Structure 1
Amino acid sequence: MAYTNGIVSAQCKQPLLSFGVISDVQYADIPDGRSFLGVPRYYRHSILVLQRAVQKWNEQKPKFVINFGDIIDGFCPKDQSLSAIKKVIDEFNVFNGPVYHMIGNHCLYNLPREKLLQMLNIPSIDGLAYYDFSPIPEYRIVVLDGYDISAIGWPKDHEKTLKALNFLRERNPNSDKNSPNGLVGLERRFLMFNGAVGKEQLEWLDHVLQDATNSNQKVVVCCHLPLDPGAATKEALLWNYDEVMYVIHRYNCVKACLAGHDHKGGHSVDSHGIHHRVLEAALECPPGTDAFGLVNLFDDRLQLAGADRMESQEMVFSC
Structure 2
Amino acid sequence: MNPASNSFVESADPTCRLNRHAFARRAMLRNGSLVLAATALTNKMLFSKEPESNSKAVRVGVITDLHYADKSPAGSRHYRETLGKLETASKQFAANQPDFVVELGDLIDAADSVDVEQGYLKTINRQFASICDDRHYVLGNHCVDTLSKDEFLGGVEQERSFYSFDREGIHFIVLDACFRGDGKSYGRRNFHWTDANVSAEELEWLRGDLKSNSKPTVVFAHQRLDVSNNHGVKNCVDVRKALEESGNVVAVFQGHSHQNDLNEIGGIHYCTMAAMVEGSGPESNGYSVMDIQPDGTIEIKGFVRQASYRWDA
Contact 1:256 1:275 in 2 (8 A): yes
Which residues of 2 match residues 152-301 of structure 1 at below 5 A? 153-154=186-187, 192-213=193-214, 217-229=215-227, 234-270=229-265, 272-289=266-283, 290-298=285-293, 299-301=295-297
Per-residue CA shift, 1:61-110, capped at 9, x if unaligned? Answer: 11000011101112x34352111110011001211331111111111112
Q: Is the partner of 1:19 in helix, strand or coil? A: strand
Contact 1:123 1:130 in 2 (8 A): no
Determine the C-alpha separation between the residues in 2 that align with 1:152 and 1:302.
Answer: 33
Letter in 1 for 2:96: Q
State the 1:123 CA deviation: 2.4
Which residues of 2 match residues 1-319 of structure 1 at below 5 A? 6=39, 9=46, 16-34=57-75, 40-74=76-110, 76-78=111-113, 79-124=115-160, 129-136=161-168, 138-149=169-180, 153-154=186-187, 192-213=193-214, 217-229=215-227, 234-270=229-265, 272-289=266-283, 290-298=285-293, 299-317=295-313
Determine the C-alpha separation between the residues in 2 that align with 1:45 and 1:243.
Answer: 38
Determine the C-alpha separation between the residues in 2 that align with 1:41 and 1:210.
Answer: 40
Unaligned runs of 5+ in 1: 35-39, 166-177, 179-191
Q: Is the partner of 1:236 in helix, strand or coil? A: coil
Letter in 1 for 2:186: G
Contact 2:146 2:187 in 1 (8 A): no
Q: How many residues align?
A: 266
- Supply the RMSD in Å over aligned alpha carbons: 2.5
Q: Is the partner of 1:275 in helix, strand or coil? A: strand
Determine the C-alpha separation between the residues in 2 that align with 1:15 and 1:292.
Answer: 23
Letter in 1 for 2:172: I
Contact 1:45 1:283 in 2 (8 A): yes
Q: Is the partner of 2:207 in helix, strand or coil? A: helix
Determine the C-alpha separation between the residues in 1 that align with 2:311 and 2:165.
Answer: 22
State the 1:118 CA deviation: 1.1
Q: Which structure features the higher share of strand residues?
A: 2
State the 1:32 CA deviation: 1.5
Contact 1:105 1:152 in 2 (8 A): no
Q: Is the partner of 2:218 in helix, strand or coil? A: strand
